[in-house]
Amino acid sequence: MKAEPSDSKNHIGLVLSGGGIRGVAHIGVIRALEEAGIFPDMIAGTSAGALVGALYAAGKSWQEMLTFFKEASIFRISNFAHGKPGLINSDKFYELYRSQFMEDSFEHLKKPLFIATCDLMKGREKLFSKGPLIKALLASAALPGVFSPIEINGALYADGGILNNFPVEPLLPLCSTIWGVYVNPIEELIPEDLDSTRQVVERAFHLTTRYPSLRKLKSCTHIICPAGLSAYATFSINAEQEIFELGYREAIKSLAISLAGAVQHT
């Protein structure tokens, strides 16, 4: 059973941003953190960050998480939505996600977890931390126009990144140390980089979510923003190993700087 958050702020929090396939970099960061003796005990995430966070909160090793992302194909013809407002039917991923957890329940995770979603009916953010887990995960990653929305208790939910791509807020009153991982770098482009509707839409979405997220990075004790991830699109295919290794390498560099700074201030 999951330990309930205590009133003490003596916790280590981990915030994982959304970012599509770039979210695999979170797994590399987790590996680096653990090798440095840092084991977050509370997690908050959006979209791909929510999925990595849930797997980690369930006790999965970095090896198990990486294998899952490599084997979980999302663009199969049978998953295309029919009669739903999205290209891919999110509901059909339920069993795939469900296979990774002993119970479909936040309460059966080993660490407290907060998942950010967008309530399309009320037009506001909704954080899930109790009750059924899988639908909250599916909702958090349901990018409008790509994945169909998820129905939960009569309401429709979509990608948490629409309103909060870096959900640090629930950890602030609970954690004395917060590690934030942001996997959506924005680099200057040339016109040839935006030669399709998908690329333009993806760029616009990243710009919309970037600046609110950057303001919130200041709330974290330590920040890891792996450089080089802009080379990968949200749905880059067969790039999991490269992205994992990039996240791992960049996290090691960031950890060296962060921990050296901490020593200097002791």
pLDDT the model gives residue 190? 46
pLDDT the model gives residue 188: 52
- Hey, which bits of 26-65 come out as E strands? 42-46
Strand-pair partners of 147? 88
- What pLDDT, on the 0 to 100 scale, is given for residue 82? 62
How far is residue 41's CA from residue 9's CA, in Å, rounded to a whole number?
11
Contact, 224 vs 166, CB < 8 A?
no
**Is residue 53 within 8 Å of 14, Cβ to Cβ?**
yes
Output the CA–CA distances (angstroms, integers) from residue 189 to 195, 199, 253, 254, in the order listed. Answer: 11, 11, 26, 26
β-partners of residue 117 are 126, 159
Q: Residue 118 is inside which H or E element, if any?
A: strand 113-119
CA 70 to chain centre: 16
Distances (CA, A) of 232 to 50, 68, 180, 215: 19, 19, 20, 24
List of residues 6+ apart from 146 with CB closer than 8 A: 86, 87, 88
Annotated catalytic residue, options 17, 47, 254, 258: 47
What is the per-residue pLDDT for 200? 58
**Which domains are seen in the chain, by residue range?**
20-264 (3.40.1090.10)
The whole-number mean pLDDT for each consecutive block of 10 residues of the chain, a chain of 266 residues, reads: 61 96 96 98 97 98 96 61 70 92 97 98 97 98 89 96 95 97 71 55 60 80 91 81 97 89 55
CA distances from 22 to 135, 136, 171, 220, 233 (A): 22, 20, 23, 21, 8
CA distance 247 to 48: 14
Which residues, 6 or more positions from 256, have their beta carbon under 8 angstroms from its beta carbon? none
Provide the token pair at 18.
Answer: 């959304």
| Annotated catalytic residue within 17, 140, 148, 159 | 159
Q: Residue 193 catalytic? A: no
3-class state of residue 131 by DSSP: coil
Q: Which among 28, 16, 19 has a CA at the least distance from the CA of 251?
A: 28
Instruction: State yes or no: is 236 an active-site residue.
Output: no
pLDDT of residue 8: 63
